[in-house]
Chains A and B, each alone.
Chain A
Amino acid sequence: GAVVSQHPSRVICKSGTSVKIECRSLDFQATTMFWYRQFPKQSLMLMATSNEGSKATYEQGVEKDKFLINHASLTLSTLTVTSAHPEDSSFYICSGTTEGTEAFFGQGTRLTVV
């Protein structure tokens, strides 16, 4: 299957700082990227959908000014958690798709805000 590289895999940051997570599609062009967060023992919750060159579409309840998504190229999308707080601690996962078929996931980023 196609490969999506996500990093960092783990990050610890202080409350009030910002953290950037990158996702790169290595062997395909991801026209659409999805960003999810996953709490322990829960399923993936879609945060936002981004199409290359367009503004991201955020799911209800997700603050777009807090979770900044950039999808500037067909192979790179970034999620920046701004002014992070302990309640933002979670597992963040991106996935990319091309032609709207199956989506391939990154390895995930475990964010801990202290």
Chain B
Amino acid sequence: QKEVEQDPGPLSVPEGAIVSLNCTYSNSAFQYFMWYRQYSRKGPELLMYTYSSGNKEDGRFTAQVDKSSKYISLFIRDSQPSDSATYLCAMNSGGYQKVTFGIGTKLQVIP
């Protein structure tokens, strides 16, 4: 079993839809959770960074962490074609610790 499981997709949604992206993990030591957006042939761009359980909102993006279920989510409201990219979840147990990535979910927002 992988430490972090993420559905690779692809996920296609119409413009304006609410997108839900998810990851599950098995390592209970993970405390820091991140979502990255990666466009083709580019390095990942940090979208959200959260610590422990709870919600965090930034513009159209909301990150949720449920440590009891070992489940994290990223919601994108009012999705735009420019949101089309691969979204990677990532997590680690603390500062300077190795970050473990999900495989990434490829999202396509159709105009």
A-B contact count (CB 8 A): 55
Interface size of B as a range: 20 to 34
Complex interface: chain B residues within 8 A of A104 (CB):
46
Known A-B contacts A44-B88, A44-B101, A49-B98; A106 and B46 likewise in contact (beta carbons under 8 Å): no
A107 interface residue (CB < 8 Å to B): yes
Contact indicator A34/B43 (Cβ below 8 Å): no
**Taking CB as reference atom, which chain A residue is nearest B45?**
A105
What 1/0 flags go to B15-48 for Cβ under 8 Å of A? 0000000000000000010101000011111100
Q: Assess whether B8 is interfacial by the CB under 8 Å rule.
A: yes
Shortest CB-to-CB span from A84 to chain B, Å, is 20
Residues of B within 8 A of A (CB): 8, 32, 34, 36, 41-46, 49, 88, 94-99, 101-104
**Can you add 4 more A-B contacts, CB < 8 Å, to A34-B99, A93-B43?**
A43-B101, A46-B99, A99-B95, A103-B46
